[in-house]
Amino acid sequence: MLHGQKVVVVLPAYKAGKTLEKTVAEIPKDTVDEILLVDDHSNDNTVEVAEKLGLKVFVHPENRGYGGNQKTCYTEALRLGADIVVMLHPDYQYDPRLVTAMAAMIASGIYDAVLGSRILDARALHGGMPKYKYIFNRLLTASQNMLLGSKLSEFHTGYRAFSREVLESLPLLANSDDFVFDNQMLTQCQAFNFSMGEISCPTKYFPEASSISFTRSVTYGLGVLKTSVIYRCWKWKLCKPVIFSNDPQHRLSAHLNKTSDA
């Protein structure tokens, strides 16, 4: 625990059998109370490795997509009584040792959400990140900061920490089940006036690390721009998109009493 707050790490997994053990080995056990893995119908040994490591495991009976995986991750973390939830990809691309620092930034009461930024790390472009992805990242982030009125160094990291209040308040069930879920969630944080902090995070790029194709990257980018434009239209009261709805039916907290089907 940190300042008396329960910390849960969630691992949204898909074919992570080769990297899971290395990832879990570096998660700081002195501050993390539970490690929860959600397997999105992998066809490798991810579940077998997770169970061997003693993780709390949930398995999707069918593939629900990256966003769908996160919805289960956060729902089950809240069900476990988490006060702070850190999402870490089990592909060993992000440094697990930063979990404590990210959780502490929330436990201190200063931030509601914390992002592990690859861009703040001076080695970002030299650490293996493909040049086109770096440029893509910078252009998208600049566009989003302009449309959202934010000042983040990047919106596209998969390393995040959230307070329980954030996870219970945002209409996450209204979000996509695909990769754009990540971006919709941060845009919702901005819309609901949650404070977001960042920490420099070195990353590793190697064959076993997960990565989406160029085509899917373009699809993601278009989804990001669409989300930002919708946000601006919502701020101007030109539309009422469901992803910014206050309707409780779109919140994870409204479904906590239901039995998980994962």
In a domain, 151, yes or no: yes
pLDDT digits (tens, 9 = 90+) for 80-130: 999 999 999 999 999 999 999 999 999 999 999 999 999 887 665 565 677
Q: What does pTM read for this prediction?
A: 0.93
User: Crossing angle, helix 181-191 and helix 131-148, to 10 degrees?
Assistant: 30
Contact 49, 164 (CB under 8 A): no
In a domain, 2, yes or no: no
Whose tokens are 């434009």? That residue is 229
Q: Is residue 261 one of the residues assigned to a domain?
A: no
d(CA 37, CA 261): 15
Alpha carbon distance 152, 113 (integer Å): 12
- Give the residue from 112, 113, 172, 180 showing the smallest Cα distance to 140: 180
**Cβ count near 149 (within 10 Å):** 11
**Alpha-carbon gap, residue 217 to 246, rounded angstroms:** 30
Residues pairing with 198 in the sheet? 115
Which CATH number characterizes residue 129's domain? Answer: 3.90.550.10
- The candidate with the shortest Cα–Cα distance to 219, out of 66, 116, 112, is 66
Question: The domain containing residue 51 runs over which residues?
Answer: 7-255
Query: What pLDDT does residue 126 have?
Result: 60
**Predicted local confidence at residue 217, as pLDDT:** 83
Q: Does residue 214 lie in a domain region?
A: yes
Do 154 and 118 form a contact (C-beta atoms < 8 A)? Answer: yes
Is 78 domain-assigned? yes
**Tens-level pLDDT at each residue, the chain (262 residues):** 788 999 999 999 999 999 999 999 999 999 999 999 999 999 999 999 999 999 999 999 999 999 999 999 999 999 999 999 999 999 999 999 999 999 999 999 999 999 999 988 766 556 567 787 888 889 999 999 999 999 999 999 999 999 999 999 999 999 999 999 999 999 999 999 999 999 999 888 766 665 667 788 889 999 999 999 999 999 999 999 999 999 999 999 877 766 555 5
The answer as to whether 1 is a domain residue is: no
Amino acid (1-letter code) at residue 117: S
Q: Tell me, yes or no, whether 26 lies in a domain.
A: yes
Number of domains in the chain: 1
Q: Would you say residue 210 lies in a domain?
A: yes
Cα 219 from Cα 179, distance rounded (Å): 9
